[in-house]
């Protein structure tokens, strides 16, 4: 029951982290058809938590849009199976 209570105390409002693709570095964890579908990136904003959203933009075009699944040791993991980001170990 304590675990359920801890989850319910999390902020009910998710945040969106928007980053320009030219300013974004990531590691590809999984790829589909040469595109990064699961990525890991260094989280520089301590206010971003699991459940928040990452949006990577090239101009006005969305390259990646995913729910942050995990934040651990300063790194966040997220997925987007319709990603336009090129699969790279480090971009």
For residue 90, pLDDT over 90 is answered with: no
For residue 89, pLDDT over 70 is answered with: no
pLDDT digits (tens, 9 = 90+) for 49-81: 999 999 999 999 999 999 999 999 999 999 999
Ordered structural domains, the chain, with CATH? 13-79 (2.40.240)
Handedness of CA 37, 17, 24, 70 (dihedral sign): negative
Whole-number pLDDT of residue 10 = 52
Which tokens in the block code for residue 87?
């699969």
Q: In whole angstroms, what is the distance from residue 50 CA to residue 8 CA?
A: 14
pLDDT digits (tens, 9 = 90+) for 2-17: 443 344 345 568 899 9
**Residues 64 and 55 sit within 8 Å (Cβ to Cβ):** yes
Mean pLDDT value of segment 17-37 = 94
Q: Which residue has the tokens 């995913």?
A: 66
């Amino acid at each position: 029951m304590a675990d359920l209570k801890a989850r319910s105390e999390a902020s009910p409002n998710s945040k969106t982290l928007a980053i320009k693709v030219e300013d974004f570095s990531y590691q590809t964890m999984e790829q589909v058809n040469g595109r990064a579908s699961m990525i890991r990136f260094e989280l520089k904003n301590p206010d971003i938590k699991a459940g928040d959203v990452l949006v990577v933009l090239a101009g006005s075009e969305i390259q990646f849009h995913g729910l942050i699944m995990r934040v651990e040791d300063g790194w966040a993991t997220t997925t987007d199976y319709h990603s336009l980001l090129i699969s790279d170990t480090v971009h």
